[in-house]
Amino acid sequence: MMVSFFDQFASPSYLGIPLIAIAIALPWVLYPTPSARWINNRLITIQGWFINRFTNQLMLPLNVGGHKWALLLASLMIFLITINMLGLLPYTFTPTTQLSLNMGFAVPLWLATVIIGMRNQPTVALGHLLPEGTPIPLIPVLIIIETISLFIRPLALGVRLTANLTAGHLLIQLIATAVFVLLPMMPTVAILTAAVLFLLTLLEVAVAMIQAYVFVLLLSLYLQENV
């Protein structure tokens, strides 16, 4: 029996070997390999259509310099969606509930956007730290505040993804436990609770996709400020 509700977020291991690497590598095995033929099957066609539509939507506000990030952002989006969706299956582990993994994605990509801005347009990048028309006495305070908000961005990216997925998994487990406890005593209440659990599961499917999209969208907005 599970000792704690939070045990589901512990990284699984076998013979002392962490299995999180397998959980991270598994999504790429599930995707079909595009073929060189003119006519593909329906799955590859739907996959290509989805990637093209998402990439076009994501790259729309960016200039030509930011289009170099299209492959990276599209791959990250697909990767996060797949991991989040697989984590909703029973007896699975969701790597994106680990703050360390999400910060490992957020910090390097955010830092890359900052470095690009400082290299290509340092005046504009530093100008974001001080809004135009600021009174002289407020300049030091605003620079400190804007600098702190700049460094909080990767933390907000990682914490947002972790918190939303963790809260959803905990809520599903709590309601599922309530269904099993209430079933022998109050079947009618248990059935109503199971209906709520089903609706919550559908909501979590939407959250899994939306949070992956928000993560990549915010990265593209940070990139837009620096290219």
Over residues 74-98, the pLDDT tens digits come to 889 888 998 998 888 887 888 888 8
Residue 125 and residue 118 in contact, taking contact as beta carbons nearer than 8 Å: yes
Q: Return the HEC string of the chain.
A: CCCCHHHHHCCCEECCEECHHHHHHHHHHHCCCCCCCCCCCHHHHHHHHHHHHHHHHHHCCCCHHHHHHHHHHHHHHHHHHHHHHHCCCCCCCCHHHCHHHHHHHHHHHHHHHHHHHHHHCHHHHHHCCCCCCCCHHHHHHHHHHHHHHHHHHHHHHHHHHHHHHHHHHHHHHHHHHHHHHHHHHCHHHHHHHHHHHHHHHHHHHHHHHHHHHHHHHHHHHHHHCCC
93 vs 98: CA distance, rounded Å? 10
pLDDT of residue 1: 44
Which is nearest to 214 in space by CA: 176, 158, 167? 158
Q: How much is the pLDDT for 139?
A: 81
Mean pLDDT of all residues in 56-65: 82
Q: Is the pLDDT of residue 129 over 90?
A: no
What average pLDDT does the segment 54-61 reach? 84
Q: Indicate the pLDDT class of residue 104, thresholds 50, 70 and 90.
A: very high
State the number of CA atoms in the 13 A half-sphere of 92 facing the CB.
Answer: 19
Q: What pLDDT band is residue 3 in, cutting at 50, 70 and 90?
A: low
Phi and psi at residue 91, to the nearest 5°: 55, 40
Query: Does residue 55 register a pLDDT over 90?
Result: no
Q: What is the pTM of this model?
A: 0.84
Give 83's contacts (C-beta < 8 A, 6+ positions apart). Answer: 23, 24, 27, 94, 95, 96
pLDDT tops 70 at residue 204? yes
Band of residue 5 on the pLDDT scale cut at 50, 70, 90 = low
Residue in the structure block whose two tokens are 């504009």: 124
pLDDT of residue 71: 87
Residue 88 structural domain? 1-226
Read off the pLDDT of each residue in 166-183 and give the average, rounded to a whole number.
Answer: 89
- Rounded to the nearest integer, the mean pLDDT of the chain is 85
- pLDDT tens readout for residues 179-191: 988 888 888 999 9
Of 14, 158, 23, whose CA–CA distance to 84 is shortest?
Answer: 23
Domain count, the chain: 1
Q: Whole-angstrom Cα distance, residue 223 to residue 227?
A: 6
- As a whole number, mean pLDDT of residues 200-222 equals 92
